[in-house]
């Protein structure tokens, strides 16, 4: 039995890049205590045990049996999420699973049911729908101060496809490409801002580099039950960097150095597939460097919200509000612990039984939009959506 005043005793499945990006959060938020980790690499497990004093397991099944673990952060590759959620839900562990929820809709349906049947909370994150500016914008929308949201535009231009990738990250059917890794961020954001329940999707995608045979770009239009619509555009082939429009702040909150322009493409010029996979491995826990503490809030590119009486521009440092007759800026300060809002949601679920919007059903709804973008691009048709859910915090009986 765990006391509500105690830190959440958290196990981690996977000590790769996703865990590295959450590391500063775990190091700086006292509401969580890392007590166990499951990973195939002995070096990663040893590094975890040395830093956190927890137990290292070579497989998730062993960690699922650990009675000290009350919740698990699943940070394994996309295609493993479904199996790992089923294992930990059956063991009665609450779950934070990295986006996307899964790769296939069949797996997503199974995961929603697994969490429901086991009576555990499943939160999909971190995603950029947890960014402080996005959450504050949602509060402004819910206040009704500026009337109804009419249109949202989200766009992002990066060199994502040319950063080190494992082979499966370049295969769409295994969750590769920009949609499942990057598009789901934009989809999460615009669904949160527009009420969650999208009705249909019309889209086009780009597969423009035969050496990287997966979707590297897309543009899509979503319409929502609440009456608004949203356009989302992303390119992972970009030479132009849209962080220029975000005060030169990188996605993870650091300041960008212009001298580093083009470094991702330069690094790939001399690498074959095996060398690229090896380079990717240097970004895992215990093998590479840890990102520095961010100087700014995270973001996912320019976002504009157009409502009846004001337009809102989201930035790392806050929100610019362009009203009928006045312009103002609302500061959104940087938290002491990066991604604090993700731990806020985990604590509310585990300790207070209050689920955030980003539940398993929410993750399934965002995944449905990813697949609808692919389907629309292939068929040229508008794709109706059937698994959407609204924006709500739920107190559940578990």
Q: Is residue 175 part of a domain?
A: yes
Q: Do 146 and 276 sit in the same domain of this protein?
A: yes
Q: Looking at residues 247-272, what average pLDDT do you find?
A: 93
Residue 230's domain is classified under what CATH number? 3.30.360.10
Q: Do 174 and 301 sit in the same domain of this protein?
A: yes
Q: Do 29 and 147 sit in the same domain of this protein?
A: no
Pick the closest to residue 220 from 197, 190, 245 (CA basis): 190
Q: Is residue 375 part of a domain?
A: no
Q: Which residue has the higher pLDDT, 283 or 104?
A: 104
User: Residue 351 CA to chain centroid, in angstroms?
Assistant: 23
**CA distances for 75 relative to 102, 195, 252, 317, angstroms:** 12, 28, 17, 28
Q: Do 75 and 87 sit in the same domain of this protein?
A: yes
CA distance 338 to 358: 18
Does 27 score more than 70 pLDDT? yes
The predicted structure's pLDDT at residue 158: 98
The predicted structure's pLDDT at residue 2: 58
Percent of the chain with pLDDT over 70: 97
Q: Do 200 and 344 sit in the same domain of this protein?
A: no
The predicted structure's pLDDT at residue 272: 86
Q: Do 204 and 272 sit in the same domain of this protein?
A: yes
CA distance 257 to 254: 9
Pick the closest to residue 166 from 271, 84, 263 (CA basis): 271
Q: Output the CA torsion 57→61→65→66 (10° steps).
A: 20
Does 96 score more than 70 pLDDT? yes
Q: Is residue 382 part of a domain?
A: no
Q: Do 311 and 181 sit in the same domain of this protein?
A: yes
Q: With b meaning 16 or more CB within 10 Å and e meaning fewer, what string describes 21-54?
A: bbbbbbebbebbbbbbbbbebeebbebbeeebeb
For the chain, the domain total comes to 2
Backbone angles phi, psi at 221, to 5 degrees: -120, 125
CA distance 219 to 183: 10
CA distance 214 to 280: 18
- Strand partners of residue 33: 9
Q: Is residue 373 part of a domain?
A: no
Length of the chain: 398
Between helices 132-143 and 184-194, what is the axis angle to 10°?
Answer: 20
CA distance 364 to 323: 35
Does 137 score more than 50 pLDDT? yes
Q: Is residue 179 part of a domain?
A: yes
Give me the DSSP letters along 67-113. TT--EEEE-S-GGGHHHHHHHHHHTT-EEEEPSSS-SSHHHHHHHHH
pLDDT, mean over the chain: 95
Q: Is residue 91 part of a domain?
A: yes
Q: Which residue has the higher pLDDT, 236 or 286?
A: 236
CA distance 13 to 69: 12
Q: Pick from 331, 352, 382: which residue ends a domain?
A: 331
Q: Which of 157-166, 230-239, 263-272 has the lowest mean pLDDT?
A: 263-272
Q: Looking at residues 51-66, what average pLDDT do you find?
A: 97
CA distance 237 to 277: 19
CA distance 80 to 277: 18
User: Residue 316 CA to chain centroid, in angstroms?
Assistant: 16
The predicted structure's pLDDT at residue 395: 47
Does 398 score more than 50 pLDDT? no
Q: Is residue 118 part of a domain?
A: yes
User: What is the sign of the dihedral through the CA atoms of 186, 189, 190 and 195?
Assistant: positive
Q: Is residue 40 part of a domain?
A: yes
CA distance 217 to 205: 6
Q: Pick from 331, 352, 370: which residue ends a domain?
A: 331
Q: Pick from 331, 349, 375: which residue ends a domain?
A: 331
The predicted structure's pLDDT at residue 200: 98
Residue 29's domain is classified under what CATH number? 3.40.50.720
Pick the closest to residue 346 from 358, 335, 337 (CA basis): 358
Task: Read off the pLDDT band of 394 (50, 70, 90).
Answer: low
Does 243 score more than 90 pLDDT? yes
Does 5 score more than 80 pLDDT? no
Does 396 score more than 50 pLDDT? no
Q: Do 22 and 64 sit in the same domain of this protein?
A: yes
Does 152 score more than 70 pLDDT? yes
CA distance 150 to 229: 7
The predicted structure's pLDDT at residue 273: 85
Task: Read off the pLDDT band of 3 (50, 70, 90).
Answer: low
Q: Do 227 and 321 sit in the same domain of this protein?
A: yes
Q: Do 241 and 138 sit in the same domain of this protein?
A: yes
pLDDT tens digit sequence for 270-317: 888 888 888 887 878 887 667 788 899 999 999 999 999 999 999 999
Provide the domain limits for residue 58.
8-128+338-360+390-395
Tokens found for residue 225: 């039950």
Q: Do 194 and 65 sit in the same domain of this protein?
A: no
pLDDT tens digit sequence for 183-235: 999 999 999 999 999 999 999 999 999 999 999 999 999 999 999 999 999 99
Judge contact between 292 and 254, C-beta under 8 A.
yes
Q: Do 105 and 154 sit in the same domain of this protein?
A: no
């Amino acid at each position: 039995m765990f006391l509500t005043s105690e830190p959440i005793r958290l196990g981690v499945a996977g000590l790769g890049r996703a865990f590295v990006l959450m590391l500063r959060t775990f190091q700086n938020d006292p509401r969580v205590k890392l007590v166990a980790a499951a990973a195939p690499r002995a070096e990663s497990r040893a590094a975890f045990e040395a830093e956190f004093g927890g137990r290292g397991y070579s497989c998730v099944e062993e960690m699922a049996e650990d009675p000290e673990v009350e919740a698990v952060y699943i940070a394994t590759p996309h295609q493993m999420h479904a199996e790992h959620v089923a294992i930990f839900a059956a063991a009665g562990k609450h779950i934070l699973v990295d986006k996307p929820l899964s790769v296939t809709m069949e797996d997503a349906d199974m995961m929603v049911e697994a969490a429901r049947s086991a009576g555990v909370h499943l939160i999909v994150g971190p995603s950029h729908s947890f960014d402080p500016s996005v959450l504050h914008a949602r509060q402004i929308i819910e206040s009704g101060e500026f009337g109804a949201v009419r249109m949202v535009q989200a766009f992002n231009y990066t060199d994502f496809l040319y950063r080190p990738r494992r082979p499966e990250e370049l295969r769409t059917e295994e969750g590769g490409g920009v949609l499942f890794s990057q598009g789901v961020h934009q989809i999460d954001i615009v669904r949160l801002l527009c009420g969650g329940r999208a009705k249909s999707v019309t889209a086009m995608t780009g597969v423009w580099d035969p050496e990287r045979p997966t979707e590297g770009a897309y543009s899509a239009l979503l319409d929502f039950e609440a009456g608004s619509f949203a356009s989302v555009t992303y390119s992972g082939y970009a030479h132009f960097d849209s962080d220029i429009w975000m005060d030169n702040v990188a996605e993870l909150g650091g300041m960008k150095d212009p001298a580093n322009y083009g470094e991702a493409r330069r690094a790939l010029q001399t690498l074959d597939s095996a060398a690229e996979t090896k380079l990717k491995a240097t970004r895992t826990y215990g093998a590479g460097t840890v990102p520095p503490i961010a100087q700014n809030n995270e973001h996912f590119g320019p976002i504009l919200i157009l409502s009846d009486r004001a337009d809102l521009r989201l930035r790392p440092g806050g929100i610019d509000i362009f009203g009928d007759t006045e312009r103002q800026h609302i500061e959104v300060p940087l938290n002491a612990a990066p991604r604090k809002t993700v731990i806020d949601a985990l604590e509310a679920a585990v300790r207070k039984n209050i689920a955030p919007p980003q539940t398993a059903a929410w993750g399934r709804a965002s995944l449905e939009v990813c697949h609808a973008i692919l389907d629309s691009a292939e068929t040229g048709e508008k794709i109706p959506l059937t698994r959407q859910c609204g924006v709500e915090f739920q107190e559940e009986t578990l």
